[in-house]
Structures are given as structure tokens and as C-alpha cells.
């Protein structure tokens, strides 16, 4: 009942935000932009977004291999797309992480390692996105004289240092050994073995700098692909959203969407675009229209994950492991 109530509240938040924004936007101008849009731009935009999701699957594959988990790339890609699908139907974007982590745990029969790989995947991606936002903002401030963005530059840099520092603490064996003492307390003692398995799984990344660096670079590539997705969507509406601003605000908006207050980011996305892009003079109507088309691209490109999930459910009685997409390779 509690979970259902929370879900209902988040649906109300999403619809409420959309309704509120409709009262604040110039709907005639938004409608004019959408009616005059060149929707052919959405095809390459969708392909770029699919490429970004596939690249995210490759990053997860790298982190799984660092764990010593030998799993076909097609399976990793399948669970990545399933997670992407559920991102758009569960109360927050972390819902997809739960789905892909659960699926990989069942596939490999290594739940601790699978769970840790998903957490590290999320942390490395977050570090890369915040780092990119800090660099892009610094360029805008130093080269384009956008003094008003100095605050965002400072926040992004501080955020990167905080996440990177927190990750270093998590990887520290000494710190984790200190935390292990907490599980000697009788009420927490039943969880001690689980904590030990998770801690041991983290050890795989302690000195595996090559895998972490590669995952970081792949996260940056994901950001580039999704940023060009937004750029093409803006071009379909006649332009007016410079690429440098997209590189600043795309990762920041992705971070905002991690806050679990809506269903699949609906409503929050539409509020975030006019707010952030308004800081650099982009028309609220244009930013709002871009957010609507971006939501459409996300929904359409998430459908392969739904198909893969349905196939795995349908084939559950015939095979232990769900079928993945056509992509092959180990």
C-alpha cells in the first residue's frame, strides 16, 4: 500500500508539473514551433540516443569484466535496454538500475558482484557528467564571457570533487573494514555476510584503474551522443540552442532527473529545460518544445527494452536465460 501510494503521488507530481507549465508557457508559440518543426531530424536524433544507450551497455560490460564476470555483450546490452525501458515507467531513473541489476544477478548467479557493478556504473557516469558540465561551463565563462555561469561552474566542480571523493572512500578497504565493525552489533549481525560480499566485490575496482578510466571515457562518449541528440531536436525546431549550452545543461538535467519525484522524469524534464536554458537567454517556449520532443524520443527508443523484457518473460518457461538482441560478441 505504501509503495502504491508513493507511485500515485509521483504520478500526480508529474501531471501536476505538466499542467502548471502549460499555464506558464506561451502555448501558441510552443504550438507554432511544433507545427513548423522538421520532424525528419528526430530520426537521426533517435539513432544517436540508441547509440548512447548501447554505449552505456558497453561501459557496464567493461565494469563487469573488471569483476571477473564473463558474460556475453549481447546479454549486457539486453539488460541495459530493459533497464532503460523501466526507467520510463518506474517512479525514478534508478528503477532501471534495479531491473538490470536484478536481471544480471539472476543471469550470472553473482548478486553481490552484479549489484556493485551497477552502483559503480552509476557513480562513474555521474562523475563523467559532472566533470563535463564543469569543463563546458568553464569554457563558456572564459571564452564566451558568460559571467552569470560562474556559480554553476563552481557547483559542478564541487559536485565532481564530492562524488570522486566519496567514491574513493567507498573503495578504501580500511574504511570498509571500519564500517564492518558496525555489523558486529547484534541487530545488524544477520546482514554482516551480505556486507562482506558487497565489500569483497568492491575490491575488484580498487586497483583496476584501466577499467575505471575506460568506463569514465565511455560515459563521456554517452554524454556527447545525448548532447547531439538534443542539438538535432533543437535544429528540428529551427535552432536557437547553441551546442556549448547543451553540453553544460544536458548533464545537469540528467543529474536532476535522479531525484525520485516523478515517473520517468515526466514533468521534471519539462520544468528543467526552460529553467536552465533560460539562464543563457534561450526562449522558454523553445526549451519547453525541445523537452517535449526529447521525451518523445526517449519513449520511442525505450521500446526495444520493453520487447526484450516481454521476450524474456515469454521464454522463461523454455530457457533459463533471456534472449538478448542480435548484437553478438564476448
Q: Which of 88-102, 280-294, 298-312 has the highest mean pLDDT?
A: 280-294
Which of 9-13, 103-107, 123-127, 217-221 is least confident?
A: 9-13
The count of residues in the chain is 330
126's CB contacts (< 8 A; 6+ apart) are: 163, 255
Is the predicted pLDDT of residue 317 greater than 60, yes or no?
A: no
Predicted pLDDT of residue 88: 79
Q: Residue 89 above 80 pLDDT?
A: no
The answer on pLDDT for 20 being more than 60 is yes
- Checking if the pLDDT of 28 tops 80, the result is yes
CA distances from 294 to 38, 120, 178 (A): 14, 27, 45
Residue 326: pLDDT over 50: no
3-state SS class at 313: helix
Query: Given a cut of 60, is residue 136 above it in pLDDT?
Result: yes
Q: For residue 150, what pLDDT band results from cuts at 50, 70 and 90?
A: confident
Report domain extents, the chain.
2-314
CB 168 within 8 A of CB 174: no
- Looking at residue 245, what is its pLDDT? 94
Average confidence score pLDDT of the chain: 88
Check whether 93 has a pLDDT greater than 90: no
Confidence of residue 324 (pLDDT cuts 50, 70, 90): very low
Q: What angle do CA 128, 132, 134 make, to 5 degrees?
A: 120
So what's the pLDDT on residue 1? 62
Q: How confident is the model at residue 234 (pLDDT cuts 50, 70, 90)?
A: very high
Q: What is the mean pLDDT of residues 87-112?
A: 78
CA–CA gap between residue 209 and residue 224 (Å, rounded): 23
8 Å CB contact between 264 and 90: yes
Q: pLDDT-derived band of residue 143, with 50, 70 and 90 as boundaries?
A: confident
pLDDT band (50, 70, 90) for residue 325? very low
Q: What is the pLDDT of residue 53?
A: 95
> What's the average model confidence in pLDDT over 71-98?
81
Q: Over the stretch 56-78, which tens digit does the pLDDT of each residue have?
A: 999 999 999 998 888 999 999 99
What does the pLDDT read at residue 299?
92
Average pLDDT of the residues in 78-96: 77
Picking from 106, 123, 108, the residue whose alpha carbon sits closest to that of residue 313 is: 106
pLDDT at 211: 95
Rounded to two decimals, the pTM is: 0.87
Amino acid at each position: 500500500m505504501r509503495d502504491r501510494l508513493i507511485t500515485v503521488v509521483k504520478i500526480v507530481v508529474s501531471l501536476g508539473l505538466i499542467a502548471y507549465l502549460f499555464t506558464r508557457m506561451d502555448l501558441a508559440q510552443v504550438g507554432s514551433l511544433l507545427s513548423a518543426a522538421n520532424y525528419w531530424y528526430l530520426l537521426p536524433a533517435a539513432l544517436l540516443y540508441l547509440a548512447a544507450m548501447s554505449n552505456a551497455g558497453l561501459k557496464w560490460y567493461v565494469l563487469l569484466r573488471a569483476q571477473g564476470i564473463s558474460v556475453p555483450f549481447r546479454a549486457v546490452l539486453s539488460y541495459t535496454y530493459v533497464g532503460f525501458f523501466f526507467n520510463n515507467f518506474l517512479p525514478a531513473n534508478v528503477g532501471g538500475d534495479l531491473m538490470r541489476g536484478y536481471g544480471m544477478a539472476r543471469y550470472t548467479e553473482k548478486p553481490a558482484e552484479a549489484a556493485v557493478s551497477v552502483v559503480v556504473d552509476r557513480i562513474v557516469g555521474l562523475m563523467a557528467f559532472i566533470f563535463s558540465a564543469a569543463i563546458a561551463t568553464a569554457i563558456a565563462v572564459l571564452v564566451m564571457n558568460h559571467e552569470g555561469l560562474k556559480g554553476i561552474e563552481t557547483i559542478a566542480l564541487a559536485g565532481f570533487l564530492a562524488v570522486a571523493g566519496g567514491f574513493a572512500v567507498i573503495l578504501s578497504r580500511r574504511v570498509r573494514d571500519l564500517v564492518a565493525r558496525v555489523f558486529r552489533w547484534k541487530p545488524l549481525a544477520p546482514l554482516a555476510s551480505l556486507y562482506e560480499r558487497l565489500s569483497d566485490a568492491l575490491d575488484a575496482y580498487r586497483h583496476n584503474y584501466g577499467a575505471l578510466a575506460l568506463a569514465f571515457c565511455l560515459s563521456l562518449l554517452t554524454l556527447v551522443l545525448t548532447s547531439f541528440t538534443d542539438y538535432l531536436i533543437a535544429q528540428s525546431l529551427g535552432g536557437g540552442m547553441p551546442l556549448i549550452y547543451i553540453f553544460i545543461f544536458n548533464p545537469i538535467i540528467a543529474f536532476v532527473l535522479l531525484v525520485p519525484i516523478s515517473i520517468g522524469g515526466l514533468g521534471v524534464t519539462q520544468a528543467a529545460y526552460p529553467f536552465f536554458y533560460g539562464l543563457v537567454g534561450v526562449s522558454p517556449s523553445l526549451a519547453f518544445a525541445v523537452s517535449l520532443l526529447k521525451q518523445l524520443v526517449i519513449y520511442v527508443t525505450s521500446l526495444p527494452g520493453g520487447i526484450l523484457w516481454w521476450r524474456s518473460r515469454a521464454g522463461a518457461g523454455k530457457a533459463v536465460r533471456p534472449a538478448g538482441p542480435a548484437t553478438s560478441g564476448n
